[in-house]
Structure 1
Amino acid sequence: MKPSERLASLLAQPVDAAGAVGWRGAVPVSWSDFSHLARSWQTAFELAAGQCFVLFFSDGLEFAAALFGLWQAGKQAWLPGDLTPATQSALRPHVAGWAGDGAGVDGVPRLQAAERAAPFATKPLSPQAEGLVVFTSGSTGAPTACVKQLRQLFDEVDALEQAFGAPSAGGTVVASVSPQHVYGLLFRVLWPLATGRTQQARTLVYLEDLAELLPSAQAGSLAASSPAVLVASPTHLGRLPVQVPAEAARVRQVFSSGAPLPDSAVPDALRVFGHAPIEVFGSTETGGVAWRQRNRAAPVFWQALPGVQWRLDDGRLELRSPHLQTDDWTPGADRAVAVASGFELQGRADRVVKIAEKRVSLQAVEERLLKGGMLSALRLVMLDDPRVQLGVVAVPSAEGWALHDSAGRRALAGALRQQLLGVVERVALPRRWRFLPELPRNAQGKSTQARLLSEFDPRRPALREITREGGKVMLTLQVDAALPQFDGHFPDHPVLPGVAQLEWAVLFGHECFDITGAFSGLEALKFQRVVTPGTQLMLTLEWQAANRLTFQYQSVHGPHASGRVLFGAPT
């Protein structure tokens, strides 16, 4: 029986009373108990009015029982990745009830498993049934319903077993990811149910907890020596422990999906597990598309999963796959280049990014911040040091500057982060902000990504005001005590080095004027007064004939430095 056929007949099969479907901690859960619970959920959903129901469980086996009971009752499961106020508001008009953990969906009745279990099913589930709606941020950031037929899910499980099944046959699946997302649903729940692997109901938080979540010697010698499969996220794999737990040796396969796996996580995984994670590329809409495993000396390109076809149209990936709703070629959301036997990804073709495994629409973030009234313009950039995160370069409105000047930069950033709650999950909120009097542009007047990224250079002073008069530019700079130029200069009496003042003059000169020649010397250089932390400097720049940039630093204390920077003729 194919894995897909086993899933379709899961509640119609004779139950192996002695066999285990999985574990809850160290306690085995029998197929008999699982089947009874699933059929009790079937009764509950059959008796409930309505067609669409939210499932939100942290326990993988409870989730699986409710899901198959719902499907056998002919109903449709809606899986949100979170229950933020925005998600609840979007769900409420579409669903008749919910089942699971926590407070659930406000204003929607909660269902419990019935005391009476339905009889064993007499026919398998229909592959064409639209049994699942995954509530994803989609391409706009607003919660979007992605409908899945059961055949899409079940066919993908066939592909997973064909591609990855042999090394972990008869093993136990442990996951650090939620079953609420397609990745967790497929790898953590459906794949083991379809192939006879056991699954751990509890979610792995720390790798050190493997000892508590894998079958032990008390469970029998066969279970204690069985292989393990770890279904993980890039975030989890990016913080592996220095001390390797003994149980890591049992992990035959490690999977990673949901976001790009950082290059730095691969050698750490090799150290802990002895093999690289199997990275799976795909999305809620497309299902699994391709995989790679960056073992030593192994190719790093992506290989299509069984049954998936791909091609490129003007650099954009197009797919034809049994995991899609249509048999036609479907444009993907990623750019790629073809290489031998596979492809390499070149980034998203839309404006949706992944941060901490959460999909974030840059368009939705921009719209919410501009509607909040404290910003008049902004640009978003992706930062990758020390981790992937969202940076905001923004021009405050009068209201925003008033808060900035009275309570400080952090207060304004905190107020803006509050505006994004309900649109962006807390873990993916912007962490780094730059507030400027105008959007940064290069000498050609363009806000390029390189120019925006330069605003996050820690050696750069904060710019408060900028004024232009003919060939002159006046900039007001805030000399913060945290600037690294003060380090060691001097420990008890910090002073801004003269070389830093020269660097700033050249830096802002290049940004304000179209300077193309190379630095060739200095003239009339004077340092008249030291600059200490907290000083607000006025930097006046003028681009003169003969490729000379004059600069002058002043403050309320008087002049600090001046001179001319010489540049060679443009080449």
Structure 2
Amino acid sequence: MSPAQRLAALLTLPPPAVLGWRQREPVTGADWLAEAGRWQAAFAAQPGQRFALYFHDSLSFAAALFGAWQAGKQAWLPGDLTAASRQALRTRVDGFAGDVAPPQELPVVTPAAAPAVAMVPLDAEALQLVVFTSGSTGEPQALPKRLRQLFDEITAQEQTFGATAPGAAVLASVSHQHVYGLLFRVLWPLATGRAIQAQSVVVLEDLAELAPPGARAVLVASPAHLSRLPLQAQHSVDQVFSSGAPLPDAAVPEVLRVFGRAPIEVYGSSETGGVAWRQRNPGAPTYWQALPGVEWRLDDDALWLRSPHLDEAGWMPSADRAAAVDGGFELRGRADRIVKVAEKRVSLTAVEAALRASPLLADLRLVTLTEPREQLGVVAVPSDAGWALHDAQGRRALAEALRALLTDVVERVALPRRFRFLPELPVNAMAKSTQARLLTEFDPRRPALRAIQRHEGGEELTLFIDAALPQLEGHFDGHPILAGVVQLEWAQMFGRERFVIDGEFAGMEAVKFQRVITPGRLVTLSLSWTPGKLSFRYHSDLGQHASGKLLFAATS
């Protein structure tokens, strides 16, 4: 039986003795199958067809997902439950199931007391899944998928990677709410008899606690996770996977140092599914090799794909440029993107290329702003030379130097007008710099983030308290200070961005304000997160300014 056939018949097959683990507690196949049956009964009793699923626990998610499919329902998988996502779901789905607070006014589905009917194989041609694009270049788009597309991709995945670690338990730092996590963290182990660890790997130290005793293990990780490895740690896993965004070249030797092998990188997208793979071990080729069944060709330098994982049989243009090499292809960046600014056509690719050529920048992303008028914005990571100019002459001087590089690329009226300089690009859990996330950097109420330091217990963010911050107005005339309520707001805002905090704010504990914060200073915000509690501390060269804990309602 192929992995695709096994997934279609999963709820009708004899369950394995152990299907997965919740931390160190084994979960039997019989218990999981009963849970899926209760979800099937619950969904079957609902009149609607479209249901949003959002779980932290991968085993509960998998039971609800297969229960919904068995009941003939379409499962929608939002990548997050931000205010915008919740609002969009309210008008597009008929109900919600999950272990976090649901979008407002949506009926909530909970598992029934007992399974209702005997299970039957799933219809692989059914259009029963909706996932969302990352939103890297615009608003996230809903993408319907047939079960066949997912199940056949698992067969190709097992053909390519199955011999790497047969029987290994699967641990992950990526969410199953995205296609990459869904495929590698949930469907692949279910189809091949690998055990699933229900809890996420947040820091590498979690591996020792989450790996089943004596079992082989693979780690399904994101480029963001693999780019932030500890300096000293070494860990034993049989394989590491990386996908969801490009893995920086500098991260490869670090993964080799920590894990003893390069990660298997998988290239693809929500739209295309998995396309190709590579593993940059010392002496290995760096080009991409197509996954089984996937064909590719070049039109000029644009990469076109034909794949059984697409809903249609024809050729599909990708968003990337590539060059052919013996044995595969090399990626050469994004295909040209054209937007209109002040009625002028602007190539975002050309603007990015001109800015990337500057020794003043290490990395950047462009956004299209609409308020107070349509204009280009730049979120950039300065190089050492860029920070030196920034510190010596100010943010405006660095922005003007970068604008001067674009006079032959963009008409003057369409030049970028707003710049944000950061120590690193803001990304989500899948290492995507989404437009929605980048746009938040242009909020005038947001303090400038100058440096980030990570340690095992949390993070330290260095903030510049600009005198132009609107929160300083009225506190107090002639002697402005940063109000305590603003410090609490910032602690919560940065905490939600730096850690996975889905619960609602539920109160405070041991909050103290010891010393006022005045404009023109660098202040460090230290944050650490344990489930339900965010500890914060503001301090500077003057000493400690404030400290305390913010409490969040536990998910249920």
Report the equivalent of 1:180.
Answer: 177
Report the equivalent of 2:191.
Answer: 194
CA contact under 8 A between 2:365 and 2:380: conserved in structure 1? no
Report the equivalent of 1:234.
Answer: 223
What is the CA–CA distance in structure 1 between the aligned matches of 2:402 and 2:207, rounded to whole Å? 52
Structure 2 CA distance for partners of 1:381 and 1:339, relative to 1, 3 Å: farther
What is the CA–CA distance in structure 1 between the aligned matches of 2:139 and 2:374, rounded to whole Å? 22
Question: Cα distance, 1:385 vs. partner?
Answer: 5.3
Q: Deviations over 1:16-42 (max 9, x none)?
A: 4xx100000000000000000001000
Structure 2 CA distance for partners of 1:135 and 1:452, relative to 1, 3 Å: closer
* One-letter amino acid of the structure 1 residue matched with residue 3 of structure 2: P
* One-letter amino acid of the structure 2 residue matched with residue 334 of structure 1: D
- Structure showing greater radius of gyration is 1
Unaligned runs of 5+ in 2: 338-347, 350-363, 388-393, 423-449, 451-519, 521-556
What is the CA–CA distance in structure 1 between the aligned matches of 2:130 and 2:5, rounded to whole Å? 21
Q: How does 1:465-544 map to 2 (within 5 A)?
A: none
CA contact under 8 A between 2:50 and 2:95: conserved in structure 1? yes
What is the CA–CA distance in structure 2 between the aligned matches of 1:112 and 1:87, rounded to whole Å? 21
Structure 2 CA distance for partners of 1:67 and 1:240, relative to 1, 3 Å: same
Q: How does 1:399-418 map to 2 (within 5 A)?
A: none
Report the equivalent of 1:98.
Answer: 96
Count of aligned residue pairs for this structure pair: 390
Structure 2 CA distance for partners of 1:376 and 1:186, relative to 1, 3 Å: closer
CA contact under 8 A between 1:20 and 1:30: conserved in structure 2? yes
What is the CA–CA distance in structure 1 between the aligned matches of 2:319 and 2:46, rounded to whole Å? 38
Report the equivalent of 1:116.
Answer: 114
CA contact under 8 A between 1:157 and 1:186: conserved in structure 2? yes
Structure 2 CA distance for partners of 1:280 and 1:442, relative to 1, 3 Å: closer
Question: Cα distance, 1:159 vs. partner?
Answer: 0.5
CA contact under 8 A between 2:41 and 2:117: conserved in structure 1? no
Question: Cα distance, 1:243 vs. partner?
Answer: 2.7
What is the CA–CA distance in structure 1 between the aligned matches of 2:205 and 2:305, rounded to whole Å? 39
Q: Deviations over 1:17-75 (max 9, x none)?
A: xx100000000000000000001000000001100000001111010000000000000
Structure 2 CA distance for partners of 1:265 and 1:438, relative to 1, 3 Å: closer
Out of 238, 242, 264, the position equivalent to 1:278 is 264
Question: Cα distance, 1:206 vs. partner?
Answer: 0.9
What is the CA–CA distance in structure 2 between the aligned matches of 1:439 and 1:445, rounded to whole Å? 10
Q: Deviations over 1:118-154 (max 9, x none)?
A: 3331x31011001100022457522311010000000
* One-letter amino acid of the structure 2 residue matched with residue 132 of structure 1: L
Out of 303, 313, 321, the position equivalent to 2:307 is 321
What is the CA–CA distance in structure 2 between the aligned matches of 1:44 and 1:445, rounded to whole Å? 58
Report the equivalent of 1:133.
Answer: 130
CA contact under 8 A between 1:90 and 1:143: conserved in structure 2? no
What's the % identity of the aligned pairs?
A: 57
Report the equivalent of 1:496.
Answer: none
CA contact under 8 A between 2:295 and 2:307: conserved in structure 1? yes
**SS across alignment from 1:255:** strand
Question: Cα distance, 1:433 vs. partner?
Answer: 11
Out of 323, 327, 335, the position equivalent to 1:349 is 335
Q: How does 1:303-452 map to 2 (within 5 A)?
A: 303-349=289-335, 351=337, 365-366=367-368, 369-371=369-371, 373=372, 377-380=375-378, 383=381, 440=404, 444=408, 446=410
Structure 2 CA distance for partners of 1:94 and 1:456, relative to 1, 3 Å: closer
**SS across alignment from 1:154:** helix
What is the CA–CA distance in structure 1 between the aligned matches of 2:228 and 2:333, rounded to whole Å? 24
Out of 207, 232, 235, the position equivalent to 2:204 is 207
Report the equivalent of 2:510.
Answer: none
CA contact under 8 A between 1:301 and 1:339: conserved in structure 2? yes
Out of 135, 139, 154, the position equivalent to 2:151 is 154
Q: CA RMSD in A?
A: 3.2
Q: How does 1:451-462 map to 2 (within 5 A)?
A: none
Question: Cα distance, 1:85 vs. partner?
Answer: 1.7
What is the CA–CA distance in structure 2 between the aligned matches of 1:22 and 1:168, rounded to whole Å? 16
Question: Cα distance, 1:442 vs. partner?
Answer: 5.3
What is the CA–CA distance in structure 2 between the aligned matches of 1:117 and 1:229, rounded to whole Å? 33
Moved more, 146-155 or 376-385: 376-385
What is the CA–CA distance in structure 1 between the aligned matches of 2:282 and 2:78, rounded to whole Å? 38
Unaligned runs of 5+ in 1: 217-223, 354-360, 392-408, 411-431, 459-481, 483-533, 535-571
Structure 2 CA distance for partners of 1:197 and 1:443, relative to 1, 3 Å: closer
* One-letter amino acid of the structure 1 residue matched with residue 307 of structure 2: S
Structure 2 CA distance for partners of 1:31 and 1:327, relative to 1, 3 Å: same
Q: Deviations over 1:456-509 (max 9, x none)?
A: 999xxxxxxxxxxxxxxxxxxxxxxx9xxxxxxxxxxxxxxxxxxxxxxxxxxx
Report the equivalent of 1:8.
Answer: 8
What is the CA–CA distance in structure 1 between the aligned matches of 2:304 and 2:407, rounded to whole Å? 38
What is the CA–CA distance in structure 2 between the aligned matches of 1:202 and 1:9, rounded to whole Å? 26
